[in-house]
């Protein structure tokens, strides 16, 4: 298999790839994650994943001698018409979690891959529907006090302290964590054709 490069600093994405049995190198890149307002929400998320993949590809193409495949992803929590993003502070985390309490939202992860040999680029996304139970102020503030929500889209990590906030999930659990492995497998097979 062509060497896989994960263009992400996310420990959650690394863990999911490792558990799925993939060998990979990590090459994190910094790109603007400000969404392009001229695109619809799904395309905004795909666009950010593409920016990450292309930045890593451009960084590596001159220094790598053999073939490689870059994998990048972007995960957003969508409530109503738009993404909630990561909280800016504790009060913002409270606002987001209060908004999600007792309601339905979507988690969308866009995945982009670029193969260095064929120059082929693939981008797709996965959607998971999440239903939160009603949360008390005490539950929300106790969770915020752990610090866990501060670096996460939608101000929660399903795999950590916020798992008990979930009433129901429709769709892949790993998508909510940050990387839909079944989609990754399908895209790698498609690139190998």
Q: What is the pLDDT of residues 114-173, one digit of tens each?
A: 999 999 999 999 999 999 999 999 999 999 999 999 988 899 988 888 989 999 999 999
Q: What is the mean pLDDT of residues 102-117?
A: 96
Residue 179 has pLDDT above 90, yes or no: yes
| CB 4, CB 68: distance < 8 Å | yes
Entry pTM: 0.91
Cα separation, 169 vs 104, whole angstroms: 10
Quote the mean pLDDT of the chain. Answer: 93
CA angle 153, 155, 160 (to 5 degrees): 100
40-63 exposure pattern, b = at least 16 Cβ within 10 A, e = fewer: eeebbbbbbbbbbbbbbbeebeee
Q: Residue 47 catalytic? A: no
User: Which residue among the candidates 74, 89, 137, 145 is catalytic per the annotation?
Assistant: 74
Break the chain into its structural domains and give their ranges: 4-192
Q: What is the mean pLDDT of residues 56-84?
A: 91
Q: Indicate the CATH number for domain 4-192.
A: 3.90.950.10
- Percentage of the chain modeled with pLDDT above 90: 79
Which residues are CB-contacts of 51 (< 8 A; sequence separation ≥ 6)?
31, 32
């Amino acid at each position: 298999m062509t060497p896989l490069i994960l263009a992400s600093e996310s420990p959650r994405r690394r863990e999911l790839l490792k558990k799925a049995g993939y060998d990979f190198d990590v090459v994190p890149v910094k790109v603007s994650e400000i969404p392009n307002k001229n695109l619809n929400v799904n395309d905004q998320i795909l666009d950010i994943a593409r920016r990450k993949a292309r930045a890593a590809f451009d960084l590596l193409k001159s220094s790598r001698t053999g073939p490689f495949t870059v994998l990048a992803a972007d995960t957003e929590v969508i409530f109503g018409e738009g993404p909630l993003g990561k909280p800016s502070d504790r009060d913002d985390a409270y606002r987001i979690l209060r908004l999600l309490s007792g309601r339905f939202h979507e988690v969308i992860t866009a995945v982009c891959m670029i193969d260095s040999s064929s120059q082929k680029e693939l981008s797709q996304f996965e959607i998971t529907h999440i239903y939160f139970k009603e949360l008390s102020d005490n539950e929300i503030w106790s969770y915020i006090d752990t610090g866990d929500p501060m670096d996460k889209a939608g101000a929660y990590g399903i795999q950590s302290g916020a798992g008990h906030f979930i009433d129901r999930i429709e769709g892949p659990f790993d998508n909510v964590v940050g990387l839909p492995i079944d989609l990754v497998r399908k895209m790698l097979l498609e690139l190998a054709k």
